[in-house]
Every structure is written in C-alpha cells, then in structure tokens.
Amino acid sequence: MLTIEQYIPIVEFLGAALGRNYEIVLHDLTKPEKSIVAIANGELSERSIGGPVTDFVLKVLKQGTIEHKPYLANYHAKNSKGTLSLSSSFFIHDESNKTIGVLCINHNISPYLAARNFLSNEIIHDEPETNVFSENCNMPNHAPACGSLNIFENFQGTVGDVIEALIKSALDKYSVAPERLSLDERLAIIKELNDNGLFLLKGGIPALAASLDISEPTVYRYLSKVKNENE
C-alpha cells in the first residue's frame, strides 16, 4: 500500500543533491491544515514540518483538475517576503487515483532576476520583460504542458495566513467596504472562495464571516445556495 512517508527519503536526497537554493517539500493532502510532513532547505520559504498547504494546492484539490496528471512544472511562486521561486509539483495518487500528496521542488530564482536586471540596466540598456510574475491562478487546460505564467503560488507559514490571503484576494476585487457589499457580490465572493478551496480548511467559515461582518449561519446559507446553483 502506497504511503506518503515512503517519499520522505526522496525529500532529503533532493535537498542534499540540488543544494541550498532548492526547497523540497512533501505535502500530505489528507490533512491540509498541517500538510507538510517533510521539508529540505525550508529557510527559503520560512516553512517547516506541520505547515499548511498553499493556495495553489487548495485550488487544484477543490477543482479536481490534477486527477490523472502526474505533475505540473515550472510555474512561479513567492514567499511572504517576496522571494521568487520557479516551482514544480509531482502529484501522488493512491490506488483509486485520488490525489493524496504532492512532492514540490521550489528553486529560488531571485538572485538570477537581480542579475538580469543589473545586466539590463547597466550593460545591455534594454527593458526586461514585464509581467513575468503574473498572479493569475487560473488552472491550465492541459497541465503539465502549461506555461509558467498560468499559475502563481504563495507560500504561507500558517493555515491562518492561507485563509487570510485567500479572503483578502477575493475582497480586494471590490472597492466598497465588506459590510456594503450587495447580496450578489457576497455570493460571487463565496463562489470564488469555494472554487479556490477555502472551505477545505478548518476556520475558513468563521474567518469569512468576520471579514464580511455576517454570521456563520449566513455564510453556510450562502455557500449552500452557491453549491445548489453549481449543481
């Protein structure tokens, strides 16, 4: 029987073989709030064993778009301090083809970007490509052949950080205060957060209720309405 623990020695091996600019992370997706079961060179994202899944992993879990796909390669990610990585994820499936884990390789490319900017500004005198790190998290139609611009992942230290970032991203699309949002706007926010996997995390409902200044039963009612409309 396949277990996530069987991959732990691979984490240690890759971390030693690739070097300190490569962070290797193993996630157990059966416990998203504490999914990190092994990590090498975790100082790159300031994460450790017991840390949560990322916003990207939550989204693909919720949407189910990674079933039957072995991996996604070369997408962009950043940590809370803005350090940029080129990331790849290998999905681990059980006997029924359910995704139970993810083995991730995150290559810190910030030094190379700094060198590129120096060469562009001081020697070549051209304009570097813009919008390289787009935060468009739409899932590609044909992973793993996706381009790196199609996905952006954020590394968060705690499950509370993940929840806060997901809610903030949804609310930032609206120019009015949360308590002034219309019913349709609130439903749209809850649909987006449901699609992005917020409600897979314990604490997502009360955090959203507090952010929208509504009761938890109201969030459950809105969520039920969104799910019924999807069906």
Pairing of strands 22-28, 36-40: antiparallel
| Contact assessment for residue 103 and residue 26, using Cβ atoms and an 8 Å cutoff | yes
Q: Are residues 175 and 226 in the same domain?
A: yes
Q: Are residues 165 and 125 in the same domain?
A: no
Q: Are residues 150 and 163 in the same domain?
A: no
Q: Are residues 100 and 9 in the same domain?
A: yes
Q: Are residues 108 and 215 in the same domain?
A: no
- Would you write out the chain's pLDDT as a tens digit for each of its 231 residues? 778 999 999 999 999 999 999 999 999 999 999 999 999 999 999 999 999 999 988 887 887 655 567 888 899 898 888 888 999 999 998 888 888 999 999 999 988 888 888 888 888 766 655 444 444 433 333 333 334 435 678 888 889 999 999 999 999 999 999 888 999 999 999 999 999 999 999 999 999 999 999 999 999 999 999 988 876
Instruction: Out of 154, 171, 199, pick the residue that ends a domain.
Output: 154
Per-position b or e across 199-211, b if 16+ CB within 10 A of its CB: bbbeebbebbbeb
* Whole-number Å distance between alpha carbons of 178 and 140: 31
Residue 178 belongs to what domain range?
159-230
Q: Are residues 122 and 41 in the same domain?
A: yes
Q: Are residues 145 and 187 in the same domain?
A: no
Q: Are residues 146 and 167 in the same domain?
A: no
Query: For 18, which DSSP code?
Result: H
Give Cα separations from 156 to 98, 159, 210, 217 (angstroms).
25, 7, 21, 28
**What local confidence, expressed as pLDDT, does residue 129 receive?**
52
Instruction: Out of 95, 127, 154, pick the residue that ends a domain.
Output: 154
Q: Are residues 106 and 190 in the same domain?
A: no
The number of folded domains in the chain is: 2
Please tell me whether residue 149 adopts helix, strand or coil conformation.
helix
Q: Are residues 163 and 148 in the same domain?
A: no
Q: Are residues 129 and 175 in the same domain?
A: no
Q: Are residues 110 and 165 in the same domain?
A: no
Q: Can you give the CATH number for the domain in which 99 is found?
A: 3.30.450.20
**What local confidence, expressed as pLDDT, does residue 65 receive?**
56
